[in-house]
Structure 1
Amino acid sequence: MSAPHPEPRWRLLPRSLLGRMLLLTLLVVVLAQGLSSLIWVSQLRASQLQGLQASAASLAHSMSASVSYFRSLPVAYRPMVLDQLRSMGGTRFVVSLNDKPLDMPVLPVTPRKRAVIEVFEQVLHERLGQHMNVSVAFVSPKELRIFNSGLRLDELPRSWAHYSLTLEPLDPPVLVTQIRLGEGEWLYIASLMPEPYTSLEPERLPRQQLGFVVLTSAFLLLFIGLLVHWQSRPLKRLARAARELSLGADVAPASEGGGSEVADVARAFNSMRERISRYLTERSQLFSAISHDLRTPITRLRLRVELLEDEPLQARFGRDLDELELLVKGALQCVKDTDIHENIEPVDLNQALEMLAEPYLGCGSLTLEGRALAPYPGKPLALRRCIGNLIDNAIKYGERAHLRILDSASGFVLQVDDQGPGVPEQRLEEVFEPHVRLAGHQQGYGLGLGIARNIAHSHGGEVSLLNLRQGGLRVTLSLPRTPD
């Protein structure tokens, strides 16, 4: 018997059709909505960049008009005009005249800040002349300086600059432009970018868009789940009917509902059910006839053998008849034990194991470990015969047996360990064949393991063999618990 295969890495994926459909739908929805959102955001940012450049150009034109106005004033009038503007509450710009450019820490240049600075420099040079010394930068309000003395923004009267350069509770960067008007005369202009480009940062995916993605995904998963659940109900009924059919129960025809493909499967199953039922009936009648027809000539031959006067010949005929009768009984027992017509009902496996193990517990040749968590739906006599054969084989060929129960919601597992010589690796599957016995001196037909495996197969389970490293053989009976 080969070593068990390792579980696949995708064992955490849902196994049901509904779970896989919902997972696939969720992945498709997230991928589609993610791609559409990325395209939408990229288009939005491109349009915002165009709007930002247009607003920057408009602001630069207004600023160049103010610079031209100040250049037209006599030098002595310029400070007086600035004082009048401050006393009136200022304008959209904060303007001052300094004898040198103010040195302030500037903010790191981002693509949007660079686009605004390039537009400003281009417009100002076009309107004021290429020879003009122009400096444009973005400064944090906390690092902003206004006059030669290096006053901060929060040190000035609110009527002078706060109206133009603050936007509570936000803290947007301030665009500072310094232009050289003459020797020792620099015009200082500070302003905020107009709405909605005050912060200059690219827009993230809006909450409304995220809510729309979540809402559409939830509705789509809900309707897909209802659809798959509705379409999978006929498949569940068909699986239940197939399991009951494998146990030999009298199964009613499966309903041909659901989609066309499911209906085709149901029709094919019903046709198969009729053929199997007819075959089982004919097989039962055939073996009943064989049993009746063979017993009569065997009995008649025994009577005739007893009339023979040659004792050696009589003994040889007797041995041949004993062998023939043994083969007939073995074949009939095989059919009888594997073709059991019982109703499916909950079987208390704990009680069945205790009854089967009771004759061996007293003498210490058998130990039992673990308990079944719940009754198992199956054929009571067949399951007891299956487990009984495994226990008898372990005691007969291994002298001592240890039974270990491993039960869970997915299936019932019974491990039967003995202390015998084990089975050669090349013959692990051969011992399940009828009339194959490794210990020739032991009595029996060589049918126990084959009958046990057939009964396990009829319940959707399996019987497997494994040689233990410390010696002995482990026989494992696995019975799945199929949910309703």
Structure 2
Amino acid sequence: MTSSAAKHSPRWRRLLRFLRDYPRSLAGRLALVLALGMAASAILALEASDRLQRANFRKEQAAAAFRSATDIAERFDRDPLGTKTALDENLVLGAHPVKSDWRMSGANPELSRELTSRLGFPAQIKTFDNRTCFAQFQRNRYAAGMNIDALPDCWFVRYVDKAGTERRYVVDLWPDRSFYQHNVGHPYVVLIIIAGALLGLLAASLAMAPLRRMEKSARAFSLEVDFEPIPVKGPSEVRAALETFNIAQERVREVIRERTQILASVTHDLQTPLTRLRLRLEQVEDEVLRDRLVADLAVTQQLVRDGLDLARSSEIREPWAVIDIDSVLSSAAEDAAEFGHRVVFTTGCGVQARVKPNALGRALGNLVDNAQKYGGSAELSCWRDNGDLVICVADRGPGLPDYELEQAFQPFRRLSSSKGSGTGIGLAIAQAQAKTFGAILTLRNRKNGGLSAEIRIPVKSVRTTGQAGR
């Protein structure tokens, strides 16, 4: 498949349409809010955790430094000379002598008060970073992969002991290597966003599943009244909405059933007076007048029967069945040919479809009758179109003006090409019959003349049995 063909293939078109429409859907907005919310929450939580770890480390670092400062002070109290010698010769890990040029200016008041409290006499602390604490290393040459960043910061401690002797020394802090190991870095942010997006899509899909079922049921109900109640499950709010929708569907069905019963009763009640009227018309002596009155009465009776047929067409309770479409079309053409009608089956499609057989047969019968009436013949065919099944009944008649193609389905409407004594209800009944199994009936003019009536059955009802004929 070429790149151009792939670009315009049905699968690519559906994908592009999905990507275009999904952000504007409720599921897309819910997924976006959840994804951004979860990603932001995770990032903020990691940042807060990172800051908390730093704060705890600083607290423990300071506590350890106070222990070191107090320990050196106690050593000076026990063995002043030995402690000074050990510091001068760098024999104490974590403590060393003060450089001669260091001065106690700008001491940290909080740290100084804490050390004073621990020692029991005034003491001062001044903080230095590692570059000041270990300035001697900066004069040295570094290996390519080494620097002094990993060396610790330090405290300069000064106090005068009880004997009046000034003590000065330096204690090292714990190295803060976490400064170079942030919890929230670029790869973590990317992973958090991706995980948030996936979780958002999953959560939106789960949340929208009941609403999608209701949307599909509403769409199916708009095409056919013979619906199945939606299973009531999910959160309480969704269950309440589904129950309400099922009740609304049942009420609509009741209204249609009552309408059909009323029309049936009216039709039945009209039969007796119409029959009496016909008998009385037979007594009219003027033969020409009698024939006209009888013809008008016959039209009236036909209108009543057709009206009842139209009302009943959407209320037929017929079981579903999977049938072979080629066999149905072939049989329809053969049955019509037996009565001398010019009906041919031209192109098969090699598929089966889940439909209501009697409803499909009646719709095809009405379309074939119309094709013969206005075109003199009928051509039956079927093919696949983007997965859907299209059943076509075509004729070679005059066709219809474009503005009348939609009006043709209106009951009792006489079109420009109408002739004979028909009631103009055949297409309306065929359309109602098609809707009972979820199909759509449309009309279009053929390029070389004539009219084409197409019954489109959705892909979900189609099952392939062989190589399509078209």
Bin the TM-score by the shorter chain. 0.5 to 0.7
Question: In structure 2, what is the Cα distance between the partners aligned to 1:408 and 1:316?
Answer: 52
**CA gap 1:421/1:308 in 2 versus in 1, 3 angstroms:** closer
Q: Give the alignment partner of residue 473 of structure 1, picking from 451, 459, 464.
A: 451
C-alpha displacement of 1:437? 3.9
Q: Is the CA contact 1:33–1:213 (under 8 Å) kept in the aligned structure 2?
A: no
State whether structure 2 residue 358 is matched by structure 1 residue 381. yes
State whether structure 2 residue 263 is matched by structure 1 residue 287. yes
Question: In structure 1, what is the Cα distance between the partners aligned to 2:197 and 2:250?
Answer: 41
Letter in 2 for 1:444: G
Question: In structure 1, what is the Cα distance between the partners aligned to 2:328 and 2:408?
Answer: 25
Matching residue of 1:404: 382
- The SS at the match of 1:446 is coil
Matching residue of 1:321: 297
Matching residue of 2:306: 330
- The SS at the match of 1:165 is coil
Question: In structure 1, what is the Cα distance between the partners aligned to 2:28 and 2:283?
Answer: 76
Matching residue of 2:333: 357
Q: Is the CA contact 1:18–1:229 (under 8 Å) kept in the aligned structure 2?
A: no
- The SS at the match of 2:397 is coil
State whether structure 2 residue 2 is matched by structure 1 residue 24. no
- Percent of residue pairs identical: 27
Matching residue of 1:414: 391
**CA gap 1:329/1:227 in 2 versus in 1, 3 angstroms:** closer
State whether structure 2 residue 316 is matched by structure 1 residue 340. yes
Q: Is the CA contact 1:26–1:217 (under 8 Å) kept in the aligned structure 2?
A: no
Matching residue of 2:252: 276
| CA deviation vs aligned residue, 1:234-290 (integer Å, no higher than 9, x gap) | 7527845984796444856x5554334423322322332342233233223222222
Matching residue of 1:62: 136
C-alpha displacement of 1:305? 1.9
C-alpha displacement of 1:382? 1.0
Matching residue of 1:393: 370
Matching residue of 1:441: 419
Question: In structure 2, what is the Cα distance between the partners aligned to 1:9 and 1:228?
Answer: 19
C-alpha displacement of 1:392? 3.6
Instruction: Provide the alpha-carbon RMSD of the alignment.
Output: 4.7
| CA deviation vs aligned residue, 1:125-175 (integer Å, no higher than 9, x gap) | xxxxxxxxxxxxxxxxxxxxxxxxxxxxxxxxxxxxxxx5344xxxxxxxx
Query: How many residues are matched?
Result: 338
- The SS at the match of 2:403 is helix
C-alpha displacement of 1:428? 1.6
Q: Bigger shift: 224-233 or 7-16?
A: 7-16
- The SS at the match of 2:417 is coil
Letter in 2 for 1:419: R
Q: Bigger shift: 27-36 or 298-307?
A: 27-36
Matching residue of 1:97: none
Q: Bigger shift: 281-290 or 215-224?
A: 215-224
Q: Give the alignment partner of residue 455 of structure 1, picking from 433, 444, 465.
A: 433
Q: Give the alignment partner of residue 347 of structure 2, picking from 365, 368, 371.
A: 368
Question: In structure 2, what is the Cα distance between the partners aligned to 1:345 and 1:441?
Answer: 37
Unmatched runs of 5 consecutive residues or more in structure 1? 1-5, 44-53, 67-92, 95-163, 168-191, 198-202
| CA deviation vs aligned residue, 1:317-359 (integer Å, no higher than 9, x gap) | 2232222223223223323434322123434434323322334
Matches within 5 A, 1:82-481: 93-94=140-141, 164-167=142-145, 193-194=147-148, 210=187, 214=191, 217-218=194-195, 221-222=198-199, 225=202, 228-229=205-206, 232-233=209-210, 236=213, 239-240=216-217, 243=220, 247-249=224-226, 251=228, 254=230, 256-359=232-335, 365-372=344-351, 374-376=352-354, 378-398=355-375, 399-401=377-379, 403-406=381-384, 411-435=388-412, 436-442=414-420, 444-481=422-459
Q: Bigger shift: 463-472 or 236-245?
A: 236-245
- The SS at the match of 2:254 is helix
**CA gap 1:205/1:433 in 2 versus in 1, 3 angstroms:** farther
- The SS at the match of 2:327 is helix
**CA gap 1:389/1:313 in 2 versus in 1, 3 angstroms:** closer
C-alpha displacement of 1:381? 0.9
Q: Is the CA contact 2:226–2:315 (under 8 Å) kept in the aligned structure 1?
A: no
Q: Is the CA contact 2:281–2:294 (under 8 Å) kept in the aligned structure 1?
A: yes
C-alpha displacement of 1:222? 4.9
Unmatched runs of 5 consecutive residues or more in structure 2? 1-12, 52-128, 152-179, 462-470
Question: In structure 1, what is the Cα distance between the partners aligned to 2:35 and 2:288?
Answer: 84
Q: TM-score, normalised by structure 1?
A: 0.55
- The SS at the match of 1:375 is strand
- The SS at the match of 1:292 is helix
| CA deviation vs aligned residue, 1:175-204 (integer Å, no higher than 9, x gap) | xxxxxxxxxxxxxxxxx544569xxxxx89
Matching residue of 1:101: none
- The SS at the match of 2:334 is helix
Q: Is the CA contact 2:390–2:457 (under 8 Å) kept in the aligned structure 1?
A: yes
Question: In structure 1, what is the Cα distance between the partners aligned to 2:196 and 2:426?
Answer: 57
**CA gap 1:451/1:257 in 2 versus in 1, 3 angstroms:** same
C-alpha displacement of 1:424? 0.6
Question: In structure 2, what is the Cα distance between the partners aligned to 1:407 and 1:432?
Answer: 23
Letter in 2 for 1:24: L
**CA gap 1:13/1:465 in 2 versus in 1, 3 angstroms:** same
C-alpha displacement of 1:420? 2.8
Question: In structure 1, what is the Cα distance between the partners aligned to 2:28 and 2:386?
Answer: 23
Letter in 1 for 2:410: E
- The SS at the match of 2:302 is helix
Question: In structure 1, what is the Cα distance between the partners aligned to 2:262 and 2:246?
Answer: 24
C-alpha displacement of 1:432? 1.2
Question: In structure 2, what is the Cα distance between the partners aligned to 1:417 and 1:303?
Answer: 42
Letter in 2 for 1:28: L
**CA gap 1:270/1:312 in 2 versus in 1, 3 angstroms:** same
